[in-house]
Amino acid sequence: MRILLTNDDGIHAPGLKMLAEIAKQFSDDVWIVAPETDQSGQAHSLTLNHPLRARKIDDKTFAVTGTPTDCVIMALRQLIEEPIDLVLSGVNAGQNIGDYINYSGTCAAAMEGTLLGVRSIALSQAFSFDSHRHVPWDTVAAHGADVLKQVIDIDLPKDTFLNINFPNCGPDEVVGTKVATQGKFAHGLGIGERSDGRGLPYYWLEFIGKPPESQPGTDIDALSNNHIAVTPVRMDMTHHEFMDDLRRSLGD
C-alpha cells in the first residue's frame, strides 16, 4: 500500500512526524508532500497567482510552497508517478470539529484526495487554548494506529472522507471511540485590534464566544467526553431535504 502524508501545519510540524510513525505501521512505501510553511486556516484554497516550488528533502519527501490542497495535487499529478492508495492528512495541532472543518487545511487535503479518487483520512489532536500551547501528542501516538486499523479497509461511499479527532486528555483517559456527526459551535471568529510600534493599528483574527451547549451524538460532544470522534464527511453539500420545497417555490 502506497500512502501519501500531508498536513497544514507545515513540513517541520511534530504532528507530521507523528503521522509518519503511525503510517509506517501499515506500509513501508510512505511519501510526504507537505507545505513549506504553516498553512493553517487555508481551507480548500488553491495557489493560482504565483508558481509552486517543490523542495526535495529525500527520495520520498517534498516541501511545497503552497496550500495543503496544492500539495495533494502536486503529489498525485507531478511528484509521485505510481498510484496512491491512501491519503493521510495531519496530525493537526488542534481539533477540526464542528464548523472548524470548513476552515481546516487538514480536512481540505483529505477533501482533495477524495476528489481525486483516493481514500482519504484527516487526523487532528485537540489541545487547550491557553497561554501554554501543550498538545498531548502521546494520546494520538497511543491510539492513532489502532483507530486506523479499524477503518482503513472500510469501503467508503463515493465522495466521502473520514475526519478523526483525538480528545484533549492523556492516553489512559481516552474512554473509547464514537462515530459522530458534525457539530455546531455557538461562536465564531472576531477581530482583535492592536497597535504596532508606531501606533498604527493592525488586526488579528480571534476565536470568540462561549462553548457550545450539549450536542449529543456530535463530534463536539464526543471530544468533550474524552472519546475519539470519527466522522464521515461527504463532498455533496446539497440540502436534499429542501429540494422539493425549492422546486415548489420555483414552479419546477
pTM: 0.94
| Angstrom distance (rounded) from CA 58 to CA 42 | 26
- What is the tens place of the pLDDT at every residue in 9-26? 999 999 999 999 999 999
More confident residue, 252 or 28: 28
132-138's contacts with Cβ under 8 Å and 24+ in sequence apart are 133/93, 135/14, 135/15, 135/93, 135/94, 136/168, 136/169, 136/170, 136/171, 137/14, 137/15, 137/18, 137/91, 138/170, 138/171
pLDDT band at 131 (very low <50, low <70, confident <90, very high): low
Q: pLDDT tens digit string along 132-191?
A: 778 999 999 999 999 999 999 999 999 999 999 999 999 999 999 999 999 988 767 789
Across 119-144, average pLDDT: 91
Please say if the pLDDT value at position 207 is more than 90.
no
| Residue-range domains of the chain with CATH | 2-185+212-250 (3.40.1210.10)
- What mean pLDDT value characterizes the chain? 94
Using pLDDT thresholds of 50, 70 and 90, give the confidence band for residue 210: low
- Pull the grid cell for residue 124: 487532528
